[in-house]
Amino acid sequence: MPAAAAPPALPRDGRRVLVVGAGIAGLVAALEMRRAGWSVRVLEAAPQAGGRCTTLRSGDVVEEEGGPAQRVTWDAAPHLYANPGPARIPHHHRGILGYCRTLGVPLEVLVDENRAALLASSAGPVPMRRVQADLRGLVAELAAKGLERGTAEAPLGEADLDALRAMLRRFGALDRDMRYNGTARAGWAEPPGAGLAPPRAMAPLDARLLLEPALWEGAAFAEGVDYAATMLQPVGGMNRIAAALAAAVGDALVTGADVLSLRRTESGARVAWRGMDGAVREEEAPRILLALPAPVLARLDSDLSAERRAGLAALHHAAAAKLAFQCERRFWEEDHAIYGGISWMPREATQIWYPSHGFHAAKGILIGAYIWDDETGERFGSRSPAERAAVIAADGEVLHPGLGREVAAPVSIAWRRMPRARGAWAEWTAEQRRSLYPLLRAPEGPYHFAGEYLSWFTGWQEGAVLSAWAALEGMA
């Protein structure tokens, strides 16, 4: 894992660069350019910096293309927010975390896997702890039986077999006979108290129930290197990072600057943009860093090569979507002892995220749906905001009967419908990585490129940071 991460050293030659797009990639690039004493201006179409790194709070408005504007009518309170875009930072994403550190963005733990969270099964919701414990028990028992039939291979000898058995016993909570008979890891049928009766562990789930994909698929998600503890989040919302970067970039940032066209000139390129006042301005620079999402850049009026424009348009972008709503009562904490984490269901809503902050507060914002499957995301996106909320409230009943009554002030974002994103993140095919990726990451005349799509960390802010550093390296 990377012990450290650092931007490239830049020549302090006072050069002038225009950056288009103030998402994480554009902001990071502009900040490093400023630190090197370069003359920078960043043009951002939105009224605020951040791009997909955004946070919804009371009063915010979501405007999807072709849909009605959605105003966020939650209470105004520091803990009542939702991150519709990136919402977690793995501890080893050293680039973005380095900016949090140097810019003083306070961080707190985000709970990704919570053993009290629920997995929907044909027999109703099952707590994650029970699935995890029983899966480990089942797999360890099978492994132990295999050992008796000689499945261990050289170079393992007889002494190693004893070590293997001891490991399996601990791994799966097996008994002395290498059988799994249940364990308190799965939870309590009778919890420990202060009475005379001893506690009693939960009995194992029926093996056939345990083999339902919705259980074992959901149970493994937090084994992924980008999903395993420790996961972090900025205190108060993900866009605290973009806000801190924007503050550091300072007056180099122009928001509400809608770029209309890009044209090469003899000494660089010229950008035409419309400002907040409606006036169209032109600005020329020897180098332009295009830090826009690929689908947005593909549609921009530009003299980028036809090959590049076709490639940008061909790059698949996920139809991810989220829906958040306010709850008057944190029923997940009060009724189920669920503090943060994610529940899963094989329904359109896919996931429920519980907040990892504001524990025991009066109200809470629940992410009632986090969808990333294309077909599901498209179906969700095609609905009206009100229809989406109705579907998601019904889906959630699978995990939390009565949830429908708790849904207030729902807000949803379908990322393909957001005009300044046109998708959630890039998804490269193996073939595109070979053929297209080298083309898209290479500079083209005065044009340079950055964005999460130009990294192996697509969909993560870390990818945006690393792509910005790579672009700077290409300019240095």
Enumerate residues 208-227 that contact its own copies by CB under 8 A: 208, 210-211, 213, 216-217, 220, 223-225
Q: Check residue 232 for interaction with its own copies (CB under 8 A).
A: yes
For residue 436, the one-letter residue type is L
Q: Using the rule CB under 8 A, is 2 a contact of its own copies?
A: yes
**Would you say 1 or 279 has its CB closer to its own copies?**
1
Q: Determine the Cα–Cα distance for residues 21 and 55; give it in Å rounded to an integer.
A: 18
Amino acid making up residue 472: L
Q: 407: phi > 0 → left, psi -120 to 50 → alpha, else beta; which?
A: beta
Query: In this chain, which stretch among 133-141, 240-248, 254-262, 396-404 interacts with its own copies, using CB under 8 A?
Result: 133-141
Contacts with 362 (C-beta within 8 Å, 6 or more apart), sequence order: 328
| Residue type, position 197, single letter | A
The nearer residue to its own copies, 31 or 100, going by C-beta atoms, is 100
Rule CB under 8 A: choose which of 7, 26, 172, 377 binds its own copies.
172
Nearest distance from residue 14's CB to its own copies, in Å?
26
Binding mask of the shown chain, residues 341 to 360, with x at each position contacting its own copies by CB under 8 A: x--------------xx-xx
Closer to its own copies by Cβ: residue 32 or 113: 113
Taking CB under 8 A as the criterion, which residues in 413-472 touch its own copies?
433, 437-438, 441, 454-457, 463, 466-467, 469-470
Q: How far is CA 249 from CA 142, 257, 414, 441, 448, in A?
A: 58, 16, 29, 24, 19
Task: Give the nearest distance from C-beta 191 to its own copies in angstroms.
Answer: 5
* Interface stretch with its own copies, choices 68-76, 188-196, 284-292, 387-395 (CB under 8 A): 188-196
By rule CB under 8 A, what string of x and - marks binding of each residue 93-122 to its own copies? -x--x--xx--x-xxxxxx-xxxx------
**DSSP helix/strand/coil, 302:** strand
Cβ atoms < 10 Å from Cβ of 453: 28
Please identify, among the stretches 9-17, 28-36, 194-202, 252-260, the one whose residues bind its own copies according to the rule CB under 8 A. Answer: 194-202
Q: What are the residues facing 36 on neighbouring strands?
A: none
Our finding on whether 47 is near its own copies (CB under 8 A) is no
370 binds its own copies (CB under 8 A): no
171 binds its own copies (CB under 8 A): yes
Residues belonging to the chain:
476
Question: Of 10, 46, 184, 394, which one interacts with its own copies (CB under 8 A)?
Answer: 184
Q: Are 37 and 307 in contact (CB under 8 A)?
A: no
Q: Are strands 364-371 and 16-20 parallel, antiparallel or unpaired?
A: unpaired
Asked if residue 91 binds its own copies (CB under 8 A), the reply is: yes
The binder of its own copies chosen from 34, 92, 264, 299 (CB under 8 A): 92
Minimum distance from residue 295 beta carbon to its own copies (Å): 19
Instruction: Provide the minimum distance between the beta carbon of 120 and its own copies in the complex, in angstroms, as a whole number.
Output: 17
Cα angle, residue 45 at apex, residues 44 and 50 outer, rounded to 5°: 55
Distance CA 398, CA 217 (A): 18
Q: Does 329 bind its own copies (CB under 8 A)?
A: no
Contact between residue 249 and residue 28 where contact means Cβ atoms under 8 Å apart: no
Stretch in the footprint of its own copies (CB under 8 A) among 53-61, 168-176, 298-306, 405-413: 168-176
CB closer to its own copies, 402 vs 419 = 402
Query: Count residues contacting its own copies (CB under 8 A)?
Result: 102
176 binds its own copies (CB under 8 A): no
Say what the alpha-carbon torsion angle 256, 18, 274, 63 is, to the nearest 10 degrees.
Answer: -40
- H-only helix segments in 70-178: 94-103, 128-148, 158-172
Please pick, from the candidates 41, 129, 308, 420, the single residue that binds its own copies as defined by CB under 8 A. 129
Could you say whether residue 66 binds its own copies (CB under 8 A)?
Answer: no
Q: Which of 149, 128, 151, 67 is nearest to 388 (CA)?
A: 67
99-102: long-range contacts (C-beta < 8 A, 24 or more apart)?
Answer: 99/28, 99/31, 99/241, 99/244, 99/245, 99/465, 100/234, 100/241, 100/244
For residues 234-273, which are near its own copies according to CB under 8 A? Answer: none
The residue from 199, 286, 401, 402 that contacts its own copies (CB under 8 A) is 199
Q: Is the peptide bond before 230 cis (omega within 30 degrees of 0)?
A: yes
Stretch 282-301 residues interacting with its own copies (CB under 8 A): none
Among 69, 207, 279, 306, binds its own copies (CB under 8 A): 207
**Helix H or strand E encompassing 184:** none
Cβ 403 to its own copies shortest distance, Å? 16
